[in-house]
Amino acid sequence: MSVYVDTSALFAVLDADDEMHPAARREWERQLRSGVSLHTCSYVLVETSALLQRRIGMDALRIFSADILPVIDIVWVDEAVHRSAYHALLVAFGAISVLWTA
């Protein structure tokens, strides 16, 4: 099984003042114990890093880098991945039928 980890989940795990922190922390620990594959993308890394730095500080960013990132598989978004994901989003919501070919 695979789980995609987004910014809101990562932030809630790291911010003890977040209302979702207790539930996020329990779920994070459960996922780690279960051995599921955790995935995210480089866009989430950028967004999470900026949010942590701004709202919690550099110590949270260090913890994110040292303790969280090593257990997550990161998909590095390049132009082809970006175009493919953007196209899939537009198709899924009926905005277009064909946009780009990669």
Asked if 45 contacts 37 with a C-beta cutoff of 8 angstroms, the reply is no
The structural domain count of the chain equals 1
pLDDT, residue 102, reads 53
pLDDT, tens digit (0-9, with 9 covering 90-100), for 46-86? 999 999 999 999 999 999 999 999 999 999 999 999 999 88
Q: Is it the case that residue 101 has pLDDT exceeding 90?
A: no
Q: What is the mean pLDDT of the segment spanning 26-46?
A: 96
- The domain that holds 62 is classified in CATH as 3.40.50.1010
Q: Is it the case that residue 100 has pLDDT exceeding 80?
A: no
Contacts of 53 (CB under 8 A, 6+ apart): 60, 61
Q: Does a structural domain hold residue 56?
A: yes
Q: Is it the case that residue 91 has pLDDT exceeding 80?
A: yes
Name the β-bridge partners of 40.
74
Q: Which domain holds residue 71?
A: 2-76
Instruction: Give the whole-angstrom CA distance, residue 28 versus residue 89.
Output: 27
Q: Does a structural domain hold residue 100?
A: no
pTM: 0.82
Q: Does a structural domain hold residue 93?
A: no
Q: Does a structural domain hold residue 11?
A: yes
